[in-house]
Structure 1
Amino acid sequence: MTESISKVAERAGQFFRGKSPIHQAMLRLTKALGELKIPFAIAGAMASNAHGHRRTTADINILIRAEELEKFKTHYIGRGWINKFEGSKNFRDAVCAVDIDALLVGGYPGDGLPKPVSFPEPEQVSEVKEDGIPFVSLKTLLELKLASGMTAPHRPRDLDDVIQLVRANSLPKDFADKLEPYVAEKFCEMWQAAQISDEH
């Protein structure tokens, strides 16, 4: 038991120093997609980290067009990357042993059903943060996580991420005015929750 706890701590330490397999996989992916001139942006937990909410994760989410994902796969599957399974849109960095989940432009977060928030074009919402890696903007990240948490009850982590992002960025309540109206009320609810301290 002690050994596994220490290994978990070691992995977390690597992660927060930016030296984990996930960070290496992001760099490899950025280089590979860059060589093919394919626009993309990192979303999900790694984008949360880029925007100040520090937490570990086991995979990478990328925002990408379906046809450009196919272009990447045609070029790179079998050359350091493998499909998760036949026909899957998701794939795996076989060198770093990291799963990569594709969020296809035009698709919908959460339950996957049509809603006012969809996965946008990466060029419209990306902000280059570090090492040349493009991450989705904070506004976009909040909209996607709110829409996901609102429609997928099995994903409460998304709403907790919103609370932590509010805290990490000291966001005012009226940040809701910048968001897609569909998620604005839920943002205000999460903002209120973020004001409650765990200290007693």
Structure 2
Amino acid sequence: MSQQIPSPRGGASGGHRSGTDVRHDLWVPTLVRSLVALVFGAVTIFWQEPTQNAAPWALGLFLVGTGAAWLFLHFRMKAREDVDLGSLANIPQLAGILYILGGALMAIMAQQNWLFVLLAAMVLGLCGILELALGLRFRQSFPLGRDWTLSGLVTVGAGMGMMLVEALGAKAELGVVGGAAVIIGVTQFIAALSLRHDALAADRAGSPDNGQPKSVD
């Protein structure tokens, strides 16, 4: 059964900012996520001796910020009637909620290293799998599909890496997630700039697709 996925430019369907390129609504949440990731990555690089009590707060704030960016993206897409992700439409919202809840629990409860690592691995692994599923489904038919695929893989890898370096302490644990955050931050930053550039170019040139949806098997 085929599913209707919109072309990058919205049609005259009466949705949010009808007739504007959908990438106008994607680039700002993508930029927000990239900045959250880059700030966290920089903190893990320059923070030479993180304590076991402080590490859960740092990672928890990163997860909450990432979750907020996902919810921002979800509400931007939900406001457009020409964006339909079908049965996976709630994944951005679900990922956002899981990130925020996981980050809050981590900051409040995870003062023991094993619990800190367990919570982090669970949140990163589950959210990474959700993002990867979204990316693989729409990698050819939605502007953020390929970026979701890469970020999902990196996030799952970060969760697995946390388990592998548990015995090495907070610096190594934050370093694993921080390295993943740098990769995500850079790629999401490039994606945000590309989305904005392409949206403005489409506004100037007009869309040959005229907002008609593409059919994806």
Instruction: Tell me the TM-score normalized by structure 2.
Output: 0.25
When Rg is computed on C-alpha atoms for both structures, the one with the higher figure is 2
Looking at both structures, which has the greater relative contact order when contacts are Cα pairs under 8 Å and sequence separation is at least 6? 2
Q: Higher helix share goes to which structure?
A: 2
Instruction: Tell me the TM-score normalized by structure 1.
Output: 0.27
Q: Higher strand share goes to which structure?
A: 1
